[in-house]
Structure 1
Amino acid sequence: MKIDLTDTTSSKINSGLVEARRAIGTGAIGMVLTLVIVTDEGSAYDALKAAGDASREHPSRILAVIRRPGRSPRARAEARLDAEIRVGSDAGTGETVLLRLHGELASQAQSVVLPLLLPDAPVVVWWPENAPENAAKDPLGALAQRRITDAVSAESPVEQLGVRAASYTPGDTDLAWTRITPWRSMLAAALDQRRVKVASAVVEGESYNPSAELLALWLADRLNIKVDRVVSDGPGLTAVRLHTAGGDVTLERSDGLLAKLSMPDQPDRMVALKRRETAELIAEELRRLDPDDIYAAAVRYGVEKLHQDAPPVGHEFVDARTPAGQARAEQAEAEAGKPAAKTPSKKAASANRTQR
């Protein structure tokens, strides 16, 4: 069921939600949180689809905030709120409200959203694109217990990690971190089977891939080792090699679907490591609303020095696109008894940055 409201108010939207629920015979009692999506018209469809799919696991009230301030001074002066209410089959297992804020009202989104939050329920704010530099200090972010950004949508994804590190507040997270959950789980399980000290590691992935950078930082932080970051052709993350005295523990994925886990004195195993859709990532983030201390430690670990000439202890960035970086990559792989990673083309370096 859909209800369109033009030049409306938050009070009328709440009344419309009650009317729509009565019409289809459902209530708001089963919803567990309010998910606020801050987006634009171009990204709204994909974001709402992902949130709707995630609502099958987390029934929620979804508020999509779409700012339309207008270009001319006259248009900016005409403050107006238009809304579209969706319940039932049109809104997954919860209910969805599209809020289009026109004119000066676009800068006062928090005053529109606040009356529409579910009472006594957590609030999560998600910026699919164009996230603020400090999510916690954003007027909408200040309403939330959990704030989700996505570094991959930034113009400089790796540099965006530095912004996230500088402004981190408990409750912040990033989908670049969520994308490496299966990698972290698989590597942790492998080391549980083989309890040996890791001397160093290599993380291979596309250039400017924030997920690869976060995985390298996580390994350096948790294992207190040097981690070489080697650029590959992708897609996304392609390999992690943990160097130990008894041999390498390697998790390698070349097609974005299946990975090969290799361990000393054991047969190689093929494991599912598919690059996940946004709906799966959002569903994972909505499972926990407490601060993610592991993400905080990883994103802060030397991220501001990733591309400096003198890398911090425990992390070294190797850009294989440069002659010096290629030589360093070849040296690292020769020491591990593996062929060096190929230098990526410019086209490969800029493609496939959405999924990891």
Structure 2
Amino acid sequence: MRTELTDTTSSKVNRALLDARRAIGSPTMGLVLTLVIATDEENAYDAVRAASEASREHPCRIIAVIKRTSRGPLKLRQTRLDAELRVGSDAGSGEIVVLRLHGALTAQAGSVVLPLLVPDAPVVAWWPADAPDDPARDPLGALAQRRITDAEAAADPVGVLDGRAGVYAPGDTDLAWTRLTPWRSLLAAALDQKPLPVTAGAVESEADNPSAELLARWLENRLGVPVERITTDGPVITRVRLETTGGEIQVDRPNGSLATLVLPGSPDRKVALKIRSKAELVAEELRRLDADEVYASALRRRPARAALSA
């Protein structure tokens, strides 16, 4: 069920949500959190779709906040709130509220969203693109226990990571880090199978890939060895090599879906290591709401680095 409201208020949106739930025969809520998406018109469709897919695992109220800007002096622009509500089959396993803020209201996003949060439930804020420099101090980020950014969408992904290291607050995370979960699990399992001292490492990826940079920082932080960054044609991360006293451990993924795991003294074997969708990444992040100290440690490690070419 879809409902559109023009020139409305947060209280009217809340009443419309209740009316919509009653109309489909579900006046009670089974929502576990509120996911606030701060986005623009260009990225709104894909972000809401990904969040809707993720809500099948985590039933939630999705609030997409779109700030509409227009030309001319701010005092002459019309201040207005428009809303689109989706409940039932149109909203996955939760509810979707798309808010479009016009005029002076764009500076009051936190006040607009606050009355619409699911009562007594955690809040997660997500910026699919154009994230603030300090997410925890952003009006929407201040409402959230978990704040998700995506350095991959920035013009200078590695520079953005360096900036966020200086303003990190518990609850901050980035999808560039989430993309590494299969890599980190596989490398940890490989070192468990071959517990050999590691003397050096290398991460090969396309240029300026933030996930590759975080992976290199994580390896340096955990293993205490230098890790080279080597630029390839991609896609994304293509290979990780760890030099050990007994030979080289290698994970080679040339095509973005299937990898080859090479261990000293063992036959090579194929492992699934696909590039996951945005919905899968968001669903993973919604599984935990506590501070990710491992991410914080990797983010804050900023060694001198020199990119090589392969």
In which range does the TM-score fall when normalised by the shorter chain?
over 0.9
Tell me, yes or no, if the aligned pair for 1:37 and 1:127 is still in contact at 8 Å: yes
Deviations 1:104-145 (A, max 9, x none): 001101111000001100000000010000000001100000
Match of 1:317 in 2: 306
- 1:294 alignment partner AA: V
Query: What does residue 270 of structure 1 align with?
Result: 270
Alpha-carbon distance change, 152 to 281 in structure 1, aligned in 2, over 3 angstroms: same
How well do the aligned residues superpose, as a CA RMSD in angstroms? 1.1
Amino acid at match of 1:146: R
- Residue 191, structure 1, aligned to residue 180, structure 2: no
C-alpha contact (below 8 Å) 2:74/2:104 kept by paired residues: no
Q: 1:279 is aligned with what amino acid?
A: A
Q: What is residue 108 of structure 2 aligned with on the other side?
A: 108
* C-alpha deviation, 1:78, in angstroms: 1.4
| Partners of 1:276 and 1:286 in 2: CA distance | 15
Distance 2:71 2:289 in 1: 38
Confirm or deny: 8 A CA contact 1:76 1:104 kept in the other structure: no
Secondary structure of 2:18's aligned partner: helix
Report 1:125-140 matches (<5 A). 125-140=125-140
Quick one: distance in 1 between partners of 2:234 and 2:50?
24
TM-score of the two chains, using structure 2 as the length reference: 0.98
In the other structure, the counterpart of 2:14 is: 14
Does the 8 Å contact 1:69/1:105 carry over to 2? no
- For the residue of structure 1 that corresponds to 2:111, the secondary structure is helix
The alpha carbon displacement at 1:27 in A equals 4.1
Deviations 1:46-99 (A, max 9, x none): 000000000000000000000013212278531100000000111100000000
d(CA) in 1 for partners of 2:47 and 2:116? 19
Q: Give the aligned partner of residue 180 of structure 2.
A: 180
Which blocks of at least 5 consecutive residues in structure 2 are unaligned?
none
* 1:29 Cα deviation from its structure 2 partner: 2.9
State the distance in 2 between where 1:202 and 1:79 align: 53
Q: Secondary structure at the match of 2:195?
A: coil
State the alpha-carbon separation in 2 of the partners of residues 74 and 279 from structure 1: 36
Give the Cα–Cα distance (whole angstroms) in 2 for the partners of residues 193 and 53 of structure 1: 36
TM-score by length of 1: 0.86
1:70–1:76: 8 Å Cα contact kept in structure 2? Answer: no
Contact 1:69 1:104 (C-alpha < 8 Å) held by counterparts = no
Please name the residue that 1:42 is paired with: 42
Partner in structure 2 of residue 351 of structure 1: none
SS of the aligned residue for 1:288 comes to: coil
The AA in structure 1 aligned to 2:176 is A
Whether 1:80 aligns to 2:80 is: yes
Report the 3-state secondary structure (helix = DSSP H, G, I; strand = E; otherwise coil) of the residue aligned with 1:317: coil
Q: CA deviation at 1:195?
A: 1.0
- 1:152–1:192 CA distance, 2 compared to 1 (3 A): same
Q: What is the CA–CA distance in structure 1 between the aligned matches of 2:269 and 2:88, rounded to whole Å? A: 44
Structure 1: tracts of 5 or more residues without a match? 306-310, 321-340, 342-356
1:276, CA displacement in angstroms?
0.6
- Does the CA contact (< 8 Å) of 1:69 and 1:76 recur in 2? no
Q: CA deviation at 1:164?
A: 1.1
Distance in 1 (alpha carbons) for counterparts of 2:190 and 2:32: 35
Q: 1:184 to 1:68 in 2, by over 3 A?
A: same
How far apart in 2 are the matches of 1:238 and 1:245? 23
Return closer, same or farther for 1:28/1:131 CA change in 2, 3 Å cut-off. farther
Moved more, 66-75 or 217-226: 66-75
SS in 2 for 1:289: coil
- CA distance in structure 1 between the partners assigned to 2:184 and 2:28 by the alignment: 36
Taking only the aligned residue pairs, the percentage that are identical comes to 62
Shift of 1:317: 3.0
Distance in 2, matches of 1:257 and 1:26, equals: 41
- CA, structure 1 residues 230+251, in 2 after alignment: closer, same or farther (shift >3 Å)? same
Query: Could you tell me which residue of structure 2 aligns to residue 220 of structure 1?
Result: 220
* Deviating 4+ runs (over 4 angstroms): none
CA contact (8 A) 2:168 2:296 kept: yes
Matched residue SS, 2:13: helix
Q: Is the contact between residue 81 and residue 100 of structure 1 (CA under 8 Å) also seen in structure 2?
A: yes
Change (3 A) 1:6 1:300: same
Matched, 1:146 2:135: no
Q: Shift in Å at residue 245 of structure 1?
A: 1.0
